[in-house]
Amino acid sequence: MRTPLFSILLVFMLSIIAAFPITSTAQTHTVTSPENVLSVTFGLNDGVPFYSVDRFGVPVISPSRLGFQLQGTAPLDRNFRIAAHHTETFDETWTQVWGEKKHIRNHYNELRVELQEAEGARREMSVVFRVYDDGIGFRYEIPEQENLPVIDILDELTEFTLTGNHTAWWVGAYQWNRFEYYPQETPLSAVDTVHTPLTMKTADDLYLSFHEAALVDYSTMTLERTEGYTLKANLMPWADGVRVKGGTSVITPWRTIQISDTPGGLFTSYLILNLNEPNKIEDTSWIKPSKYVGIWWEMHLDKSTWGSGEKHGATTENAKRYIDFAAEHGFDHVLVEGWNTGWDGEWYASGVVFSFTEPYEDFDLEGVAQYALDNGVRLMGHHETSASVLHYEDQMEDAFALYERLGVRAVKSGYVGHGQEIFWLDDDGEPQYEWHHGQFMVNHHQRVVELAARHKIALNVHEGVKDTGLRRTWPNLMTREVAIGQEYNAWGEAGGNPPEYTVQLPFTRSLAGPFDYTPGVVDLHFDQYRPDNRIKSTLAKELALYITIYSPLHMAADLPEHYEARPDALEFIKMVPTDWYDTKVLHASIGNYVTIVRKDVNSDDWYLGSITDENGRFLEAPLHFLDRDREYNAIIYRDGHDADWESNPYDMVIEEITVNANTILPIRLAAGGGQVIRFTPVP
Ligand code: NOJ
């Protein structure tokens, strides 16, 4: 629905801000959000474009610069006049193919400002702002024009000037291990150059998340603190230093700022998805949220190997064992890693090593795929590229065609390799080093998702580019890792992920989108294989990760024999859905504790997941999300009286009680503990 926007104000203002002094001749336009929560002001200050953001009239982003440095021509950042401006209101509710909420309202006011250089080449550029009640997005559009025949961006000058030394949660950019670091919590003044989502908390308890939406044919934006409390876009460059090769026109991703007075408000903001294009896949019936098991954890434990030989994990016999287990317990896919030739030797050194169609001799690919189908299960394919991308591109058409023929509906891919790789040779045969997150790789991943869609295959991408909500447009791009996952519990130098990590995740990595963390390891000590490592949580907390971490493809990561030894935990993992009608946050304190409730999309059941860091605590959960006129049977999986992640992690009590919407449920979490509850209406 499009209606005229009345809330646009044309104002002239004088502002004295140290970071970006505004002159008395500044011309500004202000647009407010539908419920007048947020407002964005765009202006020209002596021809230099800037914007600012207020929440209920209080500055959140002080006046901050906009513009570009271009290769071979003058910068596009000054000397502008406003040629035109347009406003509109948009309000629509759309339906997700799968997700953490079925129906999403996309309600914003938009301001489009068309700029033209006042003299000289008279080049043009537009800036578009969409202002929601829970945040803002803006992007640049540089149209095709005579006086700008080629657009090669040397620098995007977008700034975000904060109003104080906020607390920030961040992962550093330009590091060899890509996104795989634990989030740091520091004052903003200690931030250097960081990935997004970048989360902040102000002294007044306002929560902010900086990220981007719809990253297509552009470089990943990192944020660099340039001075004081000012962050500037820092785009990951190509090997030759150009940051974006734009061709003849450019539409940038949306630069996003989500703003809420609670951390839970960030978690349930769908702004990133709203700023992506609608679904482009006509028939989505083959895209199914589901759970999978696989030949995976045993390699990380070093019980078996990816490479061939006596310890080879991906044998026909072992795969059939997992398929039998999946069929018996209702898991939809069986992932088999190490099935294809190329794993022997240093596969992770970005070599040209893998075949994506040739199985090892002891793995009967066709036979195993058929055995799976005969048992109502499907193989989940695996493409580890070791970041040798062009080698993969040479084979990927055949690779996806093969999997489609074998009935495979989901492929996990991997791009293990250091942050900057040799991806291609230039015309002189010289190796060119590209970042995992530059435009080169963004475009590679786009080619893969479109190819996979043509073969009716969903993707689970590890070591890929961060999620920017493209799953709305390409719902076969189901999940990804792009952070420290469960595997670090097996071999990470920290001896296992610290208990606080999983309570940081909902407000850091997970704000980008679904995360293939691969929860569900129920054998928390694996001394037999890796005595220096363990899972630093209680059993109940490991179960709660199925609720606190969203992924439409969730793994049950442990070995069949470990599940057989813990049937109660397995029972919960079998029942927990991966597609939700709704999601709410009951408690949230970043890095300390979180309680999330989700309603199953296929029934009237609700699930609650609550987790804590290394500190035990009592919380109270008001069950007002339940239907008012019904009683519910609650099956509770909670930490036992003596549970403690360090000394007694398996102490878990399962009990059933009857509750209703008026119940206030006490939740006791052990140190490093958790709790899950399934609420089913009493018939
Ligand atoms: C790293 C991935 O995160 C992991 O899940 C996978 O097993 C290995 N690469 C091998 O592909």
Alpha-helix runs per DSSP H in 482-593: 487-491, 501-504, 539-548, 560-565, 567-575
Is the minimum distance from the CB of 462 to ligand 1 under 6 angstroms?
Answer: yes
| From 487, 542, 614, 620, the catalytic residue | 487
- Nearest CA to 571 among 556, 582, 553? 556
**For residue 421, is pLDDT > 70?**
no
Is the minimum distance from the CB of 487 to ligand 1 under 6 angstroms?
Answer: yes
Q: Report CA 589 to chain centroid distance, whole Å.
A: 20
What is the residue extent of each domain of the chain?
A: 290-533, 534-683
Kindly state the percentage of the chain with pLDDT values over 90.
91
End-to-end CA distance of the chain: 40
Nearest protein CA to atom 3 of ligand 1, as residue: 462
Give the chain's mean pLDDT: 95
Active-site residue flag, 487: yes
Neighbours of 303 (CB within 10 A): 15
Give the per-residue pLDDT at 373. Answer: 98
Indicate which atom in ligand 1 lies nearest the CA of residue 382: 11
Is the minimum distance from the CB of 305 to ligand 1 under 6 angstroms?
Answer: no
Indicate which atom in ligand 1 lies nearest the CA of residue 296: 7
**For residue 427, is pLDDT > 90?**
no
Q: Report CA 671 to chain centroid distance, whole Å.
A: 27
Q: Which fold has domain 290-533?
A: TIM Barrel (3.20.20)
Give the per-residue pLDDT at 672. Answer: 98
CA of 462 to the centre of ligand 1 (A): 7
Is the minimum distance from the CB of 384 to ligand 1 under 6 angstroms?
Answer: yes
* Residue 422: pLDDT band with limits 50, 70, 90: low
595-606 tens-digit pLDDT: 999 999 999 999
Q: Let me know how long the chain is.
A: 683
Indicate which atom in ligand 1 lies nearest the CA of residue 518: 5
* Residue 16: pLDDT band with limits 50, 70, 90: very low
Give the per-residue pLDDT at 425. Answer: 72
Give the per-residue pLDDT at 475. Answer: 98
Give the per-residue pLDDT at 9. Answer: 37
Give the per-residue pLDDT at 419. Answer: 63
**For residue 316, is pLDDT > 70?**
yes
The structure tokens listed for 102 are 């079925």
Q: What is the mean pLDDT of residues 484-489?
A: 98
CA of 433 to the centre of ligand 1 (A): 22
Is the minimum distance from the CB of 383 to ligand 1 under 6 angstroms?
Answer: no
212-261 tens-digit pLDDT: 999 999 999 999 999 999 999 999 999 999 999 999 999 999 999 999 99
**For residue 1, is pLDDT > 50?**
no
How many angstroms separate the CA atoms of 399 and 415, rounded? 16
CA of 297 to the centre of ligand 1 (A): 10
Q: What is the CATH number of domain 534-683?
A: 2.60.40.1180
How many angstroms separate the CA atoms of 667 and 679, rounded? 15
Is the minimum distance from the CB of 414 to ligand 1 under 6 angstroms?
Answer: yes
Q: What is the mean pLDDT of residues 34-40?
A: 98
Is the minimum distance from the CB of 298 to ligand 1 under 6 angstroms?
Answer: no
Beta-carbon contacts of residue 201 (< 8 Å; ≥ 6 apart): 166, 167, 207, 208, 263, 590
Is the minimum distance from the CB of 481 to ligand 1 under 6 angstroms?
Answer: yes
Is the minimum distance from the CB of 180 to ligand 1 under 6 angstroms?
Answer: no
- Nearest CA to 520 among 481, 484, 566? 566
Mutate to test the pocket of ligand 1, among 336, 339, 416 (most ligand atoms within 8 A of CB): 416
Q: Do 290-533 and 534-683 agree at the fold level?
A: no
**For residue 25, is pLDDT > 90?**
no
Could you tell me the pTM of the whole model? 0.95
* Residue 7: pLDDT band with limits 50, 70, 90: very low
* Residue 10: pLDDT band with limits 50, 70, 90: very low
Contact 383, 392 (CB under 8 A): yes
Nearest protein CA to atom 8 of ligand 1, as residue: 414
Q: Is 25 left (phi over 0), alpha (psi -120 to 50) or beta?
A: alpha
DSSP conformational letter for 77: S
Is the minimum distance from the CB of 225 to ligand 1 under 6 angstroms?
Answer: no
363-415 tens-digit pLDDT: 999 999 999 999 999 999 999 999 989 899 999 999 999 999 999 999 999 99
Q: What is the mean pLDDT of residues 440-462?
A: 98
Indicate which atom in ligand 1 lies nearest the CA of residue 306: 10
3-state secondary structure 465-525: CCCCCCCCCCCCEEEECCCCCCHHHHHCCCCCCCCCHHHHHHHCHHHCCCECCCCCCCCCE
**Which has the higher per-residue pLDDT, 518 or 431?**
518
DSSP conformational letter for 118: S
How many angstroms separate the CA atoms of 317 and 199, rounded? 47
105-136 tens-digit pLDDT: 999 999 999 999 999 999 999 999 999 999 99
130-140 tens-digit pLDDT: 999 999 999 99
CA of 186 to the centre of ligand 1 (A): 30
* Residue 349: pLDDT band with limits 50, 70, 90: confident
Give the per-residue pLDDT at 27. Answer: 83
Q: What is the mean pLDDT of residues 55-73?
A: 98
519-544 tens-digit pLDDT: 999 999 999 999 999 999 999 999 99
Mutate to test the pocket of ligand 1, among 462, 479, 497 (most ligand atoms within 8 A of CB): 462
- Tell how strand 38-45 and strand 290-295 pair up: unpaired
How many angstroms separate the CA atoms of 638 and 634, rounded? 12
Give the per-residue pLDDT at 11. Answer: 34
